[in-house]
Structure 1
Amino acid sequence: MPLPYKINLIDHERWISSGYNRSFAWGLVRNASTKELGFWRVVRYNPNLDTEGGCYEFSLERTGSAIVSEEFSFLDSEINRSAALSEFVAKIENWEKNPNS
């Protein structure tokens, strides 16, 4: 069954609903046809410090080097989170179309 978006961050909502628990700050990345592309994760984010940001990263392996990343600040701000996620998934989509660039 196809997924709803061109790029889908599996378990991202679980991370948010957990209160940004670090244990849930990662998941699979799948395209609309459910092909597994790699993993997303959040690094350098402390949910107890609302004055600092962090970084979304995409890699081919769960703990591998980041291929794509997007910095964010104040993740609890829905506007900032939406903007960072939009840029992040756009970068992954571009990588999927041009993996060697």
Structure 2
Amino acid sequence: MELIYPINFVGHDEWMDSGYEPKLAHGDVITRDGEVLGCWRVVGYNHNDDYSSGRFEFVLNGENDVKFAEDFAMLDVRNSRGFALSNLTRTIREWHENE
């Protein structure tokens, strides 16, 4: 697996390609160097409604509580979902760099 970004959401592309299948709405969050930071998941959305709202969540390895979350207004609108993912990624990166 090629980790090209400073923070990588493993399985995210497969989730999108599946039509937002709930069973695929999660995966690992890994740095470019291969460090597993935790996991991502998408909750609170209806995969049958392209305009459903929802939330990306990040949970640290070994934890149960959500560390960071970002809401999106519309599932299949790149500006909404993509902006939320970008914000969450930036938050995780800043947190990790300051650890």
Displacement of 1:54 in angstroms is: 0.5
Could you report, residue by residue, the CA deviation over 1:19-44 in whole angstroms, capped at 9, with x for unpaired residues? 10000000000011111000000010
Contact 2:58–2:68 (CA under 8 A) maintained in structure 1: yes
What is the TM-score with the length of structure 2 in the denominator?
0.89
Q: Would you identify which runs of 4 or more consecutive aligned residues in structure 1 move more than 6 Å?
A: none
**CA distance, structure 1, for counterparts of residue 43 and residue 29 of structure 2:** 16
Could you report, residue by residue, the CA deviation over 1:56-91 in whole angstroms, capped at 9, with x for unpaired residues? 000024882110100001110112122111101001
Change (3 A) 1:50 1:22: same
How many residue pairs were aligned? 99
Alignment correspondent of 2:71: 71
Residue 55 of structure 2 is aligned to residue 55 of structure 1: yes
Contact 1:56–1:88 (CA under 8 A) maintained in structure 2: yes
Alignment correspondent of 1:25: 25
Contact 2:37–2:61 (CA under 8 A) maintained in structure 1: no
Contact 2:55–2:72 (CA under 8 A) maintained in structure 1: yes
Displacement of 1:47 in angstroms is: 1.5
Secondary structure of 2:66 counterpart: coil
Identity in percent: 38
Change (3 A) 1:81 1:55: same
Alignment correspondent of 1:8: 8
What is the TM-score with the length of structure 1 in the denominator?
0.88
Aligned residue type for 1:3: L
Alignment correspondent of 2:97: 97
